[in-house]
């Protein structure tokens, strides 16, 4: 009987398997460099595409990702980054950060990966939640008016920990 | 490769159940694949499925969600509404294509 059932029941991917339901991911974005903005965005986007409830918490320099004045203007610098495998002195030459930033932006665009503001649009469109850190806002004298409209609130670290109860967590 | 019978047709699938031979796909099979994952295809679904098929024929690679969105002018949110939960994989499955490889 079992064999018969196996042969007639189509083999279908288990997209909505019960064991994968209810998964939550919290990503803390603490960096404001162009290269360090992307890991959180890419992982958030991937998680949302897998049906995972995803919350991003922007803190310290990560605020630059959601500050309307800066989010489209993040920069990449060779200075202090030995992974470029270039002499560190080069990074200090005037205009070098601008050049490195342009090159990285082009490399990202060539992969059809959006710039930071558009990537955040996509994440929110996919159901992702954006939260801003209260202490960072106070330190930088920023209010909700300075941030993207889709930031759901400026909340304390405790609030974020509370609302991401049971979530897996990434600190970037 | 394992085979499974869908809508009376034997098709080759991988170990996750995705079709491995795009030439075994047809609109009728797509309708049944969608039904098996709980989706009743509307004109909006078909527009996306046919885009995926055409795009795969040219690119030899399944379009990512972003590519589907930008190339068809469909907001990401609508893709999640039409193919809930895991839109990129569900779309690819219904279109009889491998799941997308791209990260974004």
Which pTM was predicted?
0.90
Closest-CA residue of chain A to B12: A11
Closest-CA residue of chain A to B34: A12
Domain A26-171 classified CATH 3.40.640.10?
no
Domain ranges of chain A: 26-171
Question: Taking CB atoms and an 8 Å limit, are A12 and B36 in contact across chains?
Answer: yes
C-alpha span between A51 and A4 (Å, rounded):
33
Token pair listed for A13: 């991917």
Residues B83 and B47: beta-carbon distance below 8 Å: no
Look over chain B and give the mean of its residue pLDDT values, rounded to a whole number. Answer: 94
Question: Taking CB atoms and an 8 Å limit, are B5 and A127 in contact across chains?
Answer: no
A6 C-beta neighbours (distance < 10 Å), count: 10
Q: Name the interface residues of B facing A (CB cutoff 8 Å).
A: 2, 4-6, 13, 16-18, 36-38, 64-67, 69-70, 75-77, 80, 84-90, 93, 103-104
Is B100 within a domain?
no
Token pair listed for A111: 């992969």
User: Domain containing B34: what range?
Assistant: 3-94
Contacts of A14 in chain B (CB under 8 A): 17
Burial letters B31-68, b for 16+ CB under 10 A, else e: bbbbebbebebeeebeebbebbbebbeeeeebbbbbbb
pLDDT digits (tens, 9 = 90+) for B36-46: 999 999 999 99
Residues A85 and A3: beta-carbon distance below 8 Å: no
Contacts of B59 in chain A (CB under 8 A): none
Token pair listed for A68: 């309307």
Question: Taking CB atoms and an 8 Å limit, are A111 and B66 in contact across chains?
Answer: no
Is B57 within a domain?
yes
ipTM > 0.95 (yes/no): no
Is B102 within a domain?
no
The answer, yes or no, to whether residue A22 has pLDDT greater than 50, is: yes
Contacts of B16 in chain A (CB under 8 A): 13
- Give B28 to chain A, closest Cα distance, Å: 15
Question: Taking CB atoms and an 8 Å limit, are B18 and A13 in contact across chains?
Answer: yes
Confidence of residue A7 (pLDDT cuts 50, 70, 90): low
Whole-number pLDDT of residue B23: 92
Tell me the mean pLDDT in the region B16-31.
93
The DSSP result for A120-171, as a single string, is HHHHHHTT-EEEEEHHHHHHTT--GGGB-TTEEEEE-HHHHHHHTTT-EEEE
Number of domains present in the structure of chain B: 1
Pairing of strands B3-6, B9-12: antiparallel
Whole-number pLDDT of residue A3: 36
- Give B4 to chain A, closest Cα distance, Å: 6
Indicate the range of A83-87, B26-30, B67-71 predicted with least confidence: A83-87
Whole-number pLDDT of residue A74: 97
Confidence of residue A5 (pLDDT cuts 50, 70, 90): very low
Tell me the mean pLDDT in the region B16-36.
94
Bridge partners (DSSP) listed for residue A82:
none
Is B28 within a domain?
yes
Nearest to A49 among B4, B37, B65 (CB): B65
């Amino acid at each position: 009987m079992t064999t018969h059932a196996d042969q007639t029941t189509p083999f279908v991917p288990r997209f909505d398997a019960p064991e994968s339901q209810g998964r939550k991911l919290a990503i803390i974005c603490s960096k404001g460099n162009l290269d360090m903005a992307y890991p959180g965005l890419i992982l958030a986007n991937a998680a949302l595409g897998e049906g995972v409830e995803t919350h991003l918490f922007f803190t310290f320099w990560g605020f630059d990702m959601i500050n309307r004045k800066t989010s489209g203007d993040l920069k990449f610098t060779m200075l202090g980054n030995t992974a470029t495998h270039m002499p560190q002195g080069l990074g200090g030459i005037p205009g070098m950060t601008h050049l490195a930033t342009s090159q990285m932006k082009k490399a990202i665009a060539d992969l059809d990966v959006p710039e930071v503001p558009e990537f955040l649009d996509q994440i929110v469109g996919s159901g992702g939640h954006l939260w801003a850190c209260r202490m960072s806002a106070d330190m930088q004298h920023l209010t909700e008016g300075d941030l993207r409209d889709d930031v759901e609130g400026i909340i304390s670290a405790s609030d974020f920990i509370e609302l991401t109860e049971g979530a897996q967590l990434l600190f970037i | 490769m394992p085979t499974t019978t869908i809508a009376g047709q034997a098709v080759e699938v991988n170990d996750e159940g995705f079709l491995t031979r795009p030439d075994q796909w047809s609109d009728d099979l797509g309708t049944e694949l969608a039904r098996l994952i709980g989706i009743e295809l509307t004109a909006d679904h078909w527009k996306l499925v046919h885009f995926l098929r055409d795009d795969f024929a040219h690119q030899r690679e399944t379009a990512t969600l972003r590519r589907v969105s930008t190339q068809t002018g469909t907001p990401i949110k609508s893709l999640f509404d039409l193919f809930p939960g895991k839109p990129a994989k569900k779309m690819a499955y219904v279109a009889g294509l491998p799941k997308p490889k791209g990260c974004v």
